[in-house]
């Protein structure tokens, strides 16, 4: 079965907009897990525009049993202010998975994967350090990004396919090309011994077609669409709807 990890960053955005403790990201994470979600994803950034460094340990504390804790982040971003850096957060909280993403402060959201050739000299030692404290390391990659097998050579155990272009094409109704990019990327990764995750702009509208194309998909990380849908339908029914799509 493909695991569902719920990204709770958007709940932190709502909380931060009022400068208070509500809505409570820990309570929301508990609700997702109680509804059957397999894990929780956080993406703390140095500018702390949503999830803050101080949130990471408390949210880690709500996970129990088989629930997975996944931290996303840019390991190249230095510590500043109250942000201690990704490596320090990982060392402190020992997540099951670290997903490395090449995002910068100027980006509204993650919008591209690593250049695995150009970034290799910096990625290789970082991955080795992170694996000392995390269960596995996953690299965010473009579906049409070339030699994805290089991720295994760098020491990563998984990739996460950036599905933004696929989701955009799916919304327009002509998505066969982008879906094929995702499928071929997943097959190349699997052939190299890598696990395959996917994330970005996945929703109830487009998840089924992706899962059919990549039946061996290990995990999807979904936040923005799931939380938006939950505003209408409630968090527990929305999480269960995603799980039904992944089980079908």
Active site residues: 43, 72, 200
Contact 68, 248 (CB under 8 A): no
> Which residues sit opposite 219 in a β-bridge?
3, 197
* DSSP assignment of 183-226: HHHHHHHHHTT-EEEEESS--TTTHHHHHHH-TT--EEEE-HHH
Encode burial over 174-200: b for 16+ CB neighbours within 10 A, e otherwise: ebeebbebbbebbebbbebebbbbbbb
Q: Which of 176, 169, 203, 97 is nearest to 140 (CA)?
A: 97
Round to whole Å and give the CA distance between 44 and 65: 24
Round to whole Å and give the CA distance between 209 and 217: 12
Round to whole Å and give the CA distance between 26 and 3: 20
- Give the CA count within 13 Å in the CB-facing half-sphere of 194: 29
């Amino acid at each position: 079965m493909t695991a569902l990890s719920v990204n709770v960053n958007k709940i932190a955005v709502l909380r931060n907009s009022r400068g208070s403790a509500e809505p409570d990201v820990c309570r929301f994470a508990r609700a997702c897990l109680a509804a059957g979600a397999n894990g929780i994803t956080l993406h703390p950034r140095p500018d702390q525009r949503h999830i803050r460094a101080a949130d990471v340990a408390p949210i880690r504390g709500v996970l129990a049993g088989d629930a997975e804790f996944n931290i996303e982040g840019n390991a190249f971003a230095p510590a500043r202010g109250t942000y201690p850096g990704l490596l320090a957060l990982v060392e402190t909280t020992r997540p099951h998975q670290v997903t490395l993403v090449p995002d910068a402060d100027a980006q509204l959201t993650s919008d591209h994967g690593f250049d695995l050739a150009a970034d290799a000299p910096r990625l290789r030692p970082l991955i080795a350090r992170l694996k000392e404290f995390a269960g596995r390391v996953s690299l965010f990659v473009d579906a049409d990004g070339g030699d994805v097998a290089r991720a295994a050579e760098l020491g990563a155990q998984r990739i996460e396919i950036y599905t933004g272009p696929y989701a955009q094409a799916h919304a327009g109704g002509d998505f066969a090309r982008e879906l094929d990019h995702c499928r071929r990327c997943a097959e190349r990764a699997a052939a190299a011994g890598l696990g395959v995750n996917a994330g970005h702009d996945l929703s109830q509208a487009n998840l089924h077609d992706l899962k059919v194309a990549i039946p061996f998909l290990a995990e999807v990380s979904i936040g923005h669409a799931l939380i938006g849908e939950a505003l209408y339908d409630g968090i527990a029914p929305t999480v269960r709807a995603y799980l039904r799509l992944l089980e079908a």
